[in-house]
């Protein structure tokens, strides 16, 4: 579609219906990835030591709390999650690259990062299933680190789109933007994408809490099935964009 970005074309008065549809389909895939984030965060907090897989602001607060309470175990858990997320971001950024002029609506490099995320979550699933609910604290920490690494990769992958405010992991900014848009009486087309992402996070956390608490063998499926679905559907999205 030339060298102009699809986002700017979609917002222009002459934007094509096909271009807008592609962006909506991409938005839907990011919403699914945010569901994965919510599920992973619930599993980490409830079953893997009480820290988050993606909420690094929360984990930094936990580090501070652990120091104030002299809680070495919480300090280790939250700091390990932060460090693992950073590693994931670095690896994901290397694979996904930075936004470029003429990028497709879903660059291939994004899927390179998501495929690695899927590989990490596959290893996570194997360890989760083979160790069971009686796993040791060290195994719980290892699983949390794997989950945080995977979501760090995902976070970098979404940044490749180069869309301000679009994220599947950094969602305090999304909430702030939504409230600001509401205050400014922005149109529904501005409000709905932000609301969808926040709702997906809450839904993922709710489902993740229920499944990890009552049906733990199925919990890894909440991470892998939606993620693999996004990867498959994104290939169809890329083919549709080529035909646009």
| CATH at residue 83 | 1.20.1250
For residues 241 and 18, give the distance between their C-alpha atoms in angstroms, rounded to a whole number: 9
> What average pLDDT does the chain have?
90
224 located within any domain:
yes
pLDDT at site 123:
98
Quick check: is 11 in a domain?
A: no
Least confident stretch, 26-40, 81-95, 132-146, 230-244: 230-244
In angstroms, the CA 196 to CA 183 distance is: 18
| Residue 230 domain-assigned (yes or no) | yes
CA angle 23, 24, 27 (to 5 degrees): 90
Task: Measure the CA–CA gap between 63 and 97, rounded to whole angstroms.
Answer: 31
Residue 112: inside a domain: yes
Q: State the pLDDT at residue 11.
A: 44
Residue 133 has pLDDT above 90, yes or no: no
pLDDT reading at 21 higher than 60: yes
> Considering the domain boundaries, does residue 3 fall inside one?
no
pLDDT at 237: 81
Provide the domain limits for residue 28: 19-242
Range 149-158 average pLDDT: 97
Please report whether residue 14 resides in a domain. Answer: no
Cα–Cα dist 34/216, whole Å: 20
CA triplet 39, 231, 219: central angle to 5 degrees? 25
Cite the beta strand spans of the chain per DSSP E: none
Q: What is the mean pLDDT of residues 144-165?
A: 95
| Average pLDDT rounded to a whole number, residues 21-33 | 94
Q: How many domains does the chain have?
A: 1
Residue 229: per-residue pLDDT: 97
Residue pLDDT, tens place only, 186-239: 999 999 999 999 999 999 999 999 999 999 999 999 999 999 999 999 988 876
Flag whether 5 is in a domain. no
Average pLDDT over residues 123-147: 95
User: 5 falls in which pLDDT band (50, 70, 90)?
Assistant: very low
Q: What is the band of 9 on the pLDDT scale with cuts at 50, 70, 90?
A: very low
Residues of the chain with pLDDT > 90: what percent? 81
Indicate whether 194 belongs to any domain. Answer: yes
Distance (Å, rounded) from C-alpha 127 to C-alpha 125?
Answer: 5
């Amino acid at each position: 579609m030339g060298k102009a970005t699809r986002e700017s074309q979609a917002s222009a008065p002459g934007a094509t219906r096909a271009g807008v549809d592609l962006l909506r389909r991409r938005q839907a895939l990011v919403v699914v990835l945010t569901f994965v984030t919510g599920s992973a965060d619930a599993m980490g907090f409830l079953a893997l030591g009480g820290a988050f897989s993606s909420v690094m602001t929360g984990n930094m607060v936990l580090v501070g709390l652990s120091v104030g309470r002299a809680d070495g175990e919480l300090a280790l858990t939250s700091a390990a999650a932060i460090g693992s997320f950073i590693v994931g971001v670095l690896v994901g950024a290397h694979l996904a690259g930075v936004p470029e002029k003429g990028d497709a609506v879903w660059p291939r490099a994004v899927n390179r990062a998501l495929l690695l995320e899927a590989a990490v979550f596959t290893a996570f699933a194997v360890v989760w299933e083979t160790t069971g609910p009686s796993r040791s604290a060290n195994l719980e920490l290892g699983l949390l680190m794997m989950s945080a690494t995977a979501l760090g990769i995902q976070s970098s992958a979404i940044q490749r789109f180069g869309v301000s405010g679009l994220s599947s992991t950094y969602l305090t900014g999304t909430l702030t933007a939504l409230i600001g848009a509401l205050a400014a009486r922005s149109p529904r087309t501005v409000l709905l994408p932000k609301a969808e992402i926040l709702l997906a996070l809450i839904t993922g956390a709710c489902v993740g809490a229920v499944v990890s608490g009552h049906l733990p063998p199925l919990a890894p499926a909440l991470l892998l099935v939606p993620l693999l679905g996004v990867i498959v559907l994104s290939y169809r999205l890329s083919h549709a964009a080529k035909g646009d």
